[in-house]
Amino acid sequence: MINQHYLSMLGNKSVIRELSEYATARGKEIGYENVFDYSLGNPSVPAPEVYKETAIRLLAESDPMKLHGYSPSTGHPEAKAKVAAALSRRYGIDYKACHIFPTAGAAGAIAHAVRAVTTPGDEVIVFAPFFPEYIPYINDTGAQIKIVPAHFPDFQINFEAFEEMLSEKVAAVLINSPNNPSGVVYTEETLLRLADILRERSAAYGHNIFLISDEPYREIVFDGKKVPYTAKFYDHTLTCYSYSKSQSVPGERIGYIAVNPAAEEADKLDAVFAQISRGIGHNCPTSIVTQVMGEIPDATSDLSVYETNMNLLYDALTELGFTVNRPDGTFYIFPKALEDDAVAFCRKAMKYDLILVPANGFYAPGYFRIAFCTDTEKVKRSLPVFKKFVEAEYR
């Protein structure tokens, strides 16, 4: 008999997915170029040329037994060492190969990290607004997600609510900066205060609260900003990274967990992650893609289009009277809707073929997300449509 829990999940399609499917269907009616589909966070620039060159070189020149062979269960040793060296150079933390565990993107990284540092029944705190897939990543381990309400209007951390929610049951805290959906980068001040609280409470409770830091947008920042590196602020940090956005290879499912060498049991954690993989039958990511990662750990696509698009949208939305933070990074902008009910707002926008995502699923009702990973030309064409929509519906 089919598992009823999973079967019942089939009804609950994600809102983002539904909107994206609507946009595709509508595109078939009126031409996809006429649908301003801002629903999905799917990179809109190609992988860097060096990605292709490296993969072809490995295929053409490597011994196929070595290229396609089993990795040890803790991951491909040379690729681990190369990623560790690249991170050490960049952030001045002394990562060794054993601190890097290759994963199937950030999703695999987060799900492994949560399983490694929780026991069923433990709590994991996240901060609104957050990526809704965190819910299955956490709850399917047997741990329980606890949601700290958003800190309006800057979308840093609501420390008051956070401190109230902390208890002995909390095993880990999961953050995401640069943030999907808000586009906000947590400031040094935010990270210092967060780390202080975690150290204090870890001491009080007699166990280390782990900080799981989801950083797939680390390379996409605007206005010359720097993203403070979370692991520098707190020893027990598991950094979850994905190449999906920075190298535009989301289908290749490649990323890693970087364990801060100062964390509890840091040298053993890759072996713990490997045990978790056994139970889900996942094992290591694909060998060839892992080896490409090892060859070009710091390569990125040309990401400049995202800043161009952000500037266009930020200026236009501000001009139209939206309340909106200027995004620090990511390819999202996160304005307040023009009525309290963001779902109604986004439904009205659909009449103009503007596909926007209400932020209820991100636990920030009243806001909506624009994923501006699209051609700049299309962003430009959408601006008068936004104007028409706002003037017709809200003036």
Window 235 to 264, contacts with a second copy (CB under 8 A):
248-254, 264
Burial state string for 209-235 with b = 16 or more CB within 10 A and e = fewer than 16: bbbbbbbbbbbbbbeeeebbbbbebbb
Stretch of 89-97, 109-117, 154-162, 216-224 contacting a second copy, by CB under 8 A: 109-117
- To the nearest whole angstrom, how small is the minimum distance from the Cβ of residue 52 to a second copy? 5
Q: Is the dihedral of CA 310, 315, 317, 321 positive or negative?
A: positive
Stretch of 43-51, 87-95, 179-187, 337-345 contacting a second copy, by CB under 8 A: 43-51
Exposure of 5 by Cβ count < 10 A (0-12 exposed, 13-18 middle, 19+ buried)? exposed
How many CA atoms lie less than 13 Å away from 61 in the CB half-sphere? 7
In single-letter form, the type of residue at position 146 comes to K
| Under 8 Å between Cβ of 174 and 124 | yes
Interactions with a second copy, residue window 139-198 (CB under 8 A): 139-140, 171
Nearest CB to a second copy, comparing residues 227 and 288: 288
Among 16, 19, 79, 117, binds a second copy (CB under 8 A): 117
Q: Is 201 in the site for a second copy (CB under 8 A)?
A: no
Compute the distance between CA of residue 387 and CA of residue 381 in angstroms, rounded to an integer: 11
Coil/strand/helix, residue 345: helix
Compute the distance between CA of residue 366 and CA of residue 333 in angstroms, rounded to an integer: 14
- To the nearest whole angstrom, how small is the minimum distance from the Cβ of residue 344 to a second copy? 28
The size of the interface with a second copy (CB under 8 A), counted in residues, is: 78
Q: Is 55 in the site for a second copy (CB under 8 A)?
A: yes
Stretch of 31-39, 108-116, 146-154, 174-182 contacting a second copy, by CB under 8 A: 108-116
Q: Is 269 in the site for a second copy (CB under 8 A)?
A: yes
Stretch of 58-66, 213-221, 226-234, 353-361 contacting a second copy, by CB under 8 A: 58-66
Nearest CB to a second copy, comparing residues 35 and 266: 266
Q: Is 137 in the site for a second copy (CB under 8 A)?
A: yes
Interactions with a second copy, residue window 73-92 (CB under 8 A): 76
| Under 8 Å between Cβ of 313 and 368 | no
Among 38, 82, 100, 105, binds a second copy (CB under 8 A): 105
SS3 content of the chain, % helix, strand, coil (to 5): 45, 15, 40
